[in-house]
Chain A
């Protein structure tokens, strides 16, 4: 047998003969590739490898040699005997690969749509895999956007429900009032009516009685007179006299008696205050509902609407998207947008039988042509079918085919298709299932022994009705069933080896079909899964708000109707049972499906639902404050969410959720909101305030505070909403270390404020302020009062006002400060004090800065500080006037602890210390980028970019702690870049690849995050550098948007400046940013090779440098830092040096060169200046921080 096989083996390729050609020497070789290789094309000869005989090649090439038919028969015989599968390549013809042009058995590659050899094809598939991975990474990075949107949608549903609830309640209330009023009035009028009627009736009846009596008397009198006033009767004269008198009286009475006999039919009239028709009309239209349809991409919308960028760009608005889908559906009866209507993994065209035994070249070529044209068309259609429905006119057979295909698709893949994007789960595709199954099969088969066949059906059934039998171990059940299927497969194989693959697949499909309905129901639950994280913070929120409500109730009778009604309505909203309440905690496992379905149903019906339904409290801005108190809970929450998104087991998560859900605060909420609801009603009736709810809000907080801080002198001059500000501003000034600017008892000047408020004047501003004040209060409950207030204060307008206010009113104290300092410093610039002792006390720092200026005799701020020139000119004057004083005090300060910054900088070149080295352990770095050293505690924070964490060191470079890991959740980073520490020690991080800013408390606990990818206000594209000013404003270099954005410390967008370009005020890839204490904003305009200096409004003050390597020139400057006296340090990354500039922009000194030694740099990033004047430099490629 072996010899037989050997005879059937070509000695060149050592494979079974394929299309053996017989040479005249009677030796046979495969036609391809063996014979090809043997051909000497020049001499048109073939040399037999066996006998070395040379043969002329026939005219039509090696094909012209006769085929060894005998050998071929033997080959077939051999196949029959051994039962081997026929060689898959048999019958195929080798072609030149269209990529590497090697001869091989080529197949069409879907990647390049060429016929290429297997090697190139596998390479292409690798490329595809890598691309998929890369895109997948993008998706993973971007999917949080969808999650965000989802949560926003959830939030929107909530708020919509609340809104509708509150509105309908309002309507009810109005209805109640109206009906009550009508009823009251009606009742009143009725009783009036009755009363009137009875009294009138009484009157009339008495009148009637009287009259009757009168008439009776008179008639009797008359009768008597007729009868007896005749001669026959004797009457005495007086009697007659009296009778006459009586009769006269009667006549008189009858003549005079007149009672009100006017028309009693119209005695009572009902008249209406206004025209009844009109009233009815008014009632008919007593209210109107205004449905606000936000335009798709307005700015106001930006708050609510999801990020418009990247993935979602084309379909930013779900309304649009659904419209689009509908349109599409209307358009194409028989076409699917995704994959051009194919099923997943299907070849784009029905491949005609190519593996025919005879290989006529012409036929194949034809075939190929046919194929390629078909694919081309297919692609075209799939891409452009939206507009070109007319393209449909194709051959009948084709459309029929697609119809069929579509039918199939609907059964499996359509089940889970995303309604917005048309993306279905690849996992649902039978092909994909098969692949995955195949991949998983190996190990599992080894683990579990095959089970009897019978249970399959029952198990499948079990899986189908998971709700009935919750404790079924879904996992194993599934596995078993899979195993069974495989068993069947194997059995099929053994019995019918040729047609084995069909039936298991069909089985699988049928199972899939069965499971899909349940799976889709999971889907619905799944949608409602995310909100848990929303609800969770809400629980704590409610307590907070309840407290606030309480206090405001006590102190202010004026209640903002809008707010309280919303709280009230939300408390009621629980009964409506929003879908989001269900704590379905399902990982998006899909076609693993059946098993997880049962677990989900478990969780759905689990107790937590009940507790949760009580409190779907929700308010947009309240929510954001909750982040402080329950950080741990949130963490677990987010992590569980992550897990679920990573298709982990759902069983583990159910217990996790429960404790979170059943937190105590739940109970309090309904009560609270109920009370607030009561107050609402009473308020509503008692007082109808003309002010807007927002304003009221601010006043209430204001009132509250005024009670709390009643010891403070109140400023009656100011209107209520603003007094908060002025008082706290005052407070801040007291604690502020920058005497010059902030000592503002400035009169509040409305016009000035409105100048800086963007457009909407006072109410807008007051709102933002008040909300902010609220927030900051909630945010830092454990922090000291003044700091809190400081934070609460920071609003753009206030800040500016402070700055300007100082100019207008109070210059006394700063000038005093200056003169004082000038008297304590040495007059000569030549006094080089070697001690670089640090001046950590802020007040002394400011005095030093002044003294430095004085001692240098430099008009430091004069040139470039237009906005504070008033101040400075006076400073200058005082400095000019001071030499005498200085000389006087000269002796006192010879050993001054501050050397002049200029000399200090001039001496800089030697490295004092270095931190780090490559690594991911504490104290090591992988590409450190941003660095910050200001802040109250003299700590150094380094953005350890590729370790996705922030490391914090003390002033001596000793590692203290770190925070952050990789990810896009709260407190996680993706290649963070900039880091800043604000005055109260919070860390503000530019989370570069997550396109957001995160804020952490001084211990590194996550506080909040804001921003997402995009170009709108408050959105980022790779934010890089970040800094804060003394007022807590956050400045972010939005690198890929080529602009600077400014935010309040709570993340409220304040302003932006800069646009792409190289002109003045334009930026190209700005990297880092620093703000001096004179409010000069220094930006490293990296790709323009310059430093630009702006004022806080974005007006260009000056610029430094141009491209080059000379002194004062830059190549891709990156980090910038500014010290207290305005000296600017720049990390000139392209020249690998640090350059220092005087405050006026003149070059002072440069040091450093390329390398990895001391004072050498590779790839500079951020720089920072410590309060003692040391310069910190992030030396990226050396993975270290150097201190000079």
Chain B
């Protein structure tokens, strides 16, 4: 494997030196393209107080293609499915090389504050979110309580 591109090194350095509040991304010891990410649930959201683990992988042609991000912690969210996959446009077709790891993670954090049930990935969740938002939020809180809080 070729050496790590300068951009990744720079990004990693910056992530370490100036971490984004509420987000920590640490590269794996054996693979510098693989990051262990922890995102705190945003305030005023049903995920508040939770610590959500994610994994982030920078593919070979990063930054020309988007990083692969996935939730490891279970989360009740209309745009995140049971496997932790995230429905986020900038991770798909709206990716731009100008985006960075930090911006991606910030976007994900934002996604937690603003679920978009109109573009669902977990259909049942999205359904509930649309039909009975209160219950959905309660579920989300419950899941946060159950999965994102107990082990920290």
Contacts and interface: CB of A to CB of B under 8 A. Distances in A.
A49 B98 contact: yes
B88 to A, nearest CB: 16
B2 A119 contact: yes
Contacts of A339: none
B45 interface: no
Given A37-B97, A49-B98, A50-B96, A12 B2 contact: no
Contacts of B64: 37-38
Interface in A42-75: 47, 49-50, 52
A15 interface: yes
A119 B63 contact: no
B82 to A, nearest CB: 31
B96 A52 contact: yes
Contacts of A49: 96-99
A34 B10 contact: no
B100 to A, nearest CB: 8
Nearest to B61: A37
B7 A15 contact: yes
B97 A52 contact: no
Contact of A34 (B2, B61, B97, B99): B97
B28 interface: no
A674 interface: no
Given A38-B64, A102-B2, A119-B2, A12 B7 contact: yes
A92 to B, nearest CB: 15
Contacts of A100: 2
A915 interface: no
Interface in B71-122: 94, 96-100
A14 B3 CA distance: 17
B6 A12 contact: no
Interface in A605-658: none
B58 to A, nearest CB: 13
Given A37-B64, A119-B3, A12 B97 contact: yes
Which of A12, A14, A100 has most chain B Cβ within 10 Å? Answer: A14
Contacts of A13: 6-7
Interface size of A as a range? 10 to 19
A118 B63 CA distance: 20
A1100 interface: no
Interface string A115-143: 00011001000000000000000000000
Contacts of B97: 11-12, 34, 37-38, 49
Contacts of B94: 52
Nearest to B96: A49
A47 B61 CA distance: 16
Given A49-B97, A49-B98, A50-B96, A12 B3 contact: no
A102 B1 CA distance: 12
B135 interface: no
A102 B5 CA distance: 12
> Could you tell me the dominant secondary structure of chain B's interface residues?
loop
Question: Main SS of the interface on chain A?
Answer: loop
A357 to B, nearest CB: 22
Chain B: interface residue count, which band?
A: 10 to 19
Interface string A94-105: 000000101000
Interface in A871-898: none
Contacts of A50: 96, 98
A119 B97 CA distance: 23
Interface in A1-56: 11-15, 34, 37-38, 47, 49-50, 52
A288 B25 CA distance: 93
A14 B10 contact: yes
B43 interface: no
B133 interface: no
A14 B12 CA distance: 11
Nearest to A100: B2
A11 B2 CA distance: 22
Contacts of A119: 2-3
Interface string B5-49: 011001100000000000000000000000000000000000000
Nearest to B64: A37
B85 to A, nearest CB: 24
B124 to A, nearest CB: 33
Contact of A11 (B3, B6, B98): B98
Interface centre among B2, B10, B61, B94 (most CB of A within 10 A): B2
A25 B74 CA distance: 42
Nearest to B1: A119
B11 to A, nearest CB: 7
Nearest to B8: A14
Nearest to B65: A37
Contacts of B7: 12-15
Contacts of B10: 14-15
B2 A15 contact: no
Nearest to A27: B98
Residue from the set B10, B64, B98, B99 with the largest chain A CB neighbour count within 10 Å = B98
Interface string A577-591: 000000000000000
Interface centre among A37, A47, A118 (most CB of B within 10 A): A37
A206 B7 CA distance: 137
A17 to B, nearest CB: 14
B83 to A, nearest CB: 29
Contacts of A15: 6-7, 10
B91 to A, nearest CB: 15
A47 B2 CA distance: 26
A783 to B, nearest CB: 63
Interface in A1033-1056: none
Nearest to B13: A14
Nearest to B99: A49
A1112 to B, nearest CB: 52
Contacts of B98: 11-12, 49-50
A118 B99 CA distance: 27
Contacts of B99: 49
Nearest to A37: B64
Most buried by B among A13, A15, A100, A122: A13
A13 B5 CA distance: 9
A100 B3 CA distance: 12
A14 B63 CA distance: 10
Contacts of A102: 2
B62 to A, nearest CB: 10
Contacts of A118: 3
B96 A14 contact: no
A885 B26 CA distance: 93
B47 to A, nearest CB: 29
Nearest to A118: B3
Most buried by A among B6, B11, B64, B94: B64
Interface of B: 2-3, 6-7, 10-11, 61, 63-64, 94, 96-100
18 contacts: A11-B97, A12-B63, A12-B98, A13-B6, A13-B7, A14-B7, A14-B100, A15-B6, A34-B97, A37-B61, A37-B63, A38-B64, A47-B96, A49-B96, A49-B98, A100-B2, A102-B2, A119-B2
The 10 A-B residue pairs with the shortest CB-CB distance in the complex, in nearest-first order? A49-B98, A49-B96, A37-B64, A11-B98, A49-B97, A12-B97, A14-B10, A119-B3, A14-B7, A119-B2
Interface of A: 11-15, 34, 37-38, 47, 49-50, 52, 100, 102, 118-119, 122
Given A15-B6, A15-B7, A37-B64, 10 more contacts: A12-B63, A12-B98, A13-B7, A34-B97, A38-B97, A47-B96, A49-B97, A49-B99, A118-B3, A122-B3
